[in-house]
Amino acid sequence: MKEQDMLQDLQQPVTDLRRRFIELTEPHREALWSYAHRITGNAIDAEDLVQDTLLRAFAKLGYLGQALHVRAYLFKMATHIWIRQQMRNPAWETETMIPDDQGESPLCSFELGDILGWLIQVLPPKQRACFLLSTSFDFSNKEIAEMLQTTEGTIKSYLHRARKTLAARATQTNPTKETCLYKEVPSGVLQQYVRAFQAGDVAGLLHLIDEDASMHIMGDWEEYGKTQIKNNSLHYWSQEQLERKAVYGMLDGVPVLFGLRKNASGDMVLRELMQIHHNGTSIQSIHWYYFSLDLIRYAAAELGMACITEGYQG
């Protein structure tokens, strides 16, 4: 049997296991997304963190020799991924410890609702993670210590420093991260993409896509190369007989395309989000948030409009 055939034989059982994993984790997805949103500071990064978390959590199942609490496992994976990402940023200095006998911190009964959530973005990565896990998601110091593979005393130190920092900055002004729709689309590739999208013009979209481009349908599948994109996602997309519209805008300060569709009542509602990455002449990659329930619902709420969503695919 050829290697390609052997690999293909593995796909179906893995796909079945992945579906069971998605069903098992679904009850915790909303809380996981909320945590990811608060720790990253914007909705797109939150969705990407959730997808990365689910992918790695599924991949590591075969290497774990003990029973797992699903919620704690997902939060631990998300925390480790995000902290590793942040530690590559030289802006974050090493998080030094303080003695555990410093007494009660200025905000010993601090709750996240008592202060604007954006302010936690000033905290270093480990302090931010500990603070959120403790105050917003009710993990004990022992559970957090197990997640971060450290001691309860260290967790207490992180929490003490976090509360002290937040208390000192509680009067700061919130830096706005805008969420809005724009009337105009930047000229060039994005403008051409929007025109082709709204016209249902597959040929027009393909004209903009680089031969080696990638399509990432977040939480479902990926395609590499223009031919795969043409034969798969764009083929199915072209079969939809719905009026569609793409609107350029911002979500938590991040530029995106909001995909709107008419619902059964004839109203234009949010259906998807897209990030188009291009070099000024052609599209290198598209991140298509079509099955991202929590992201779509959040964006719709921020924009004050209704939305249509599918079930979780990944």
Taking residues 98-124, report their average pLDDT: 55
| Contacts by residues 144-147 (CB-CB < 8 Å, ≥ 24 positions apart) | 146/72, 146/76, 147/72, 147/75, 147/76, 147/79, 147/80
- For residues 175 and 185, the model is more confident at 185
Radius of gyration of the chain, Cα coordinates, nearest whole angstrom: 22
Residue 18: which pLDDT band, with cuts at 50, 70 and 90?
confident
Contact 107, 67 (CB under 8 A): no
Average pLDDT over all residues of the chain: 87
Give the residue from 169, 171, 314, 198 showing the smallest Cα distance to 257: 198
Supply the pLDDT for residue 116: 47
Q: How far apart are CA 261 and CA 269, in angstroms?
A: 6
- DSSP 3-state assignment of 221? strand
Q: Residue 151 carries which side chain, given as an amino acid letter?
A: T
Q: How far apart are CA 284 and CA 277, in angstroms?
A: 6
- For residue 59 the two structure tokens come to 């991949």
| H helical segments located in 116-188 | 125-135, 141-148, 152-168
Give the residue from 314, 289, 290, 286 showing the smallest Cα distance to 225: 286
CATH number belonging to domain 3-168: 1.20.140.160
Q: What's 307's DSSP letter?
A: B
Contact 294, 28 (CB under 8 A): no
Supply the pLDDT for residue 112: 46
Give the residue from 254, 205, 201, 200 showing the smallest Cα distance to 226: 205
End-to-end C-alpha distance for the chain, whole angstroms: 31
Say whether pLDDT at 240 is over 90: no
| H helical segments located in 223-277 | 226-231, 233-239
Q: How far apart are CA 233 and CA 288, in angstroms?
A: 10
Could you tell me how far CA 129 lies from the centroid of its own chain? 16
Q: What's the predicted TM-score (pTM) here?
A: 0.87
Taking residues 66-71, report their average pLDDT: 81
Q: How would DSSP label each residue in 66-92? A: S---HHHHHHHHHHHHHHHHHHT-TTS
CATH 3.10.450.50 in the chain is located at: 180-303
Of the candidate ranges 151-155, 180-184, 239-243, the one whose mean pLDDT is the lowest: 239-243
Q: Residue 70 carries which side chain, given as an amino acid letter?
A: V
- For residues 255 and 117, the model is more confident at 255
Using the structure block, give the residue that is written with the tokens 């302010």. 119
Say whether pLDDT at 111 is over 50: no
Supply the pLDDT for residue 63: 80
Give the residue from 311, 245, 231, 310 showing the smallest Cα distance to 274: 245
Q: Is 280 exposed, middle or buried (0-12, 13-18, 19+ CB in 10 A)?
A: exposed
DSSP H or E run through 278 = strand 268-278
Residue 67: which pLDDT band, with cuts at 50, 70 and 90?
low
Say whether pLDDT at 163 is over 60: yes
Of the candidate ranges 49-63, 82-96, 189-203, 294-308, the one whose mean pLDDT is the lowest: 82-96
CATH number belonging to domain 180-303: 3.10.450.50
Residue 243: which pLDDT band, with cuts at 50, 70 and 90?
confident
- For residue 169 the two structure tokens come to 């900055």
CATH 1.20.140.160 in the chain is located at: 3-168
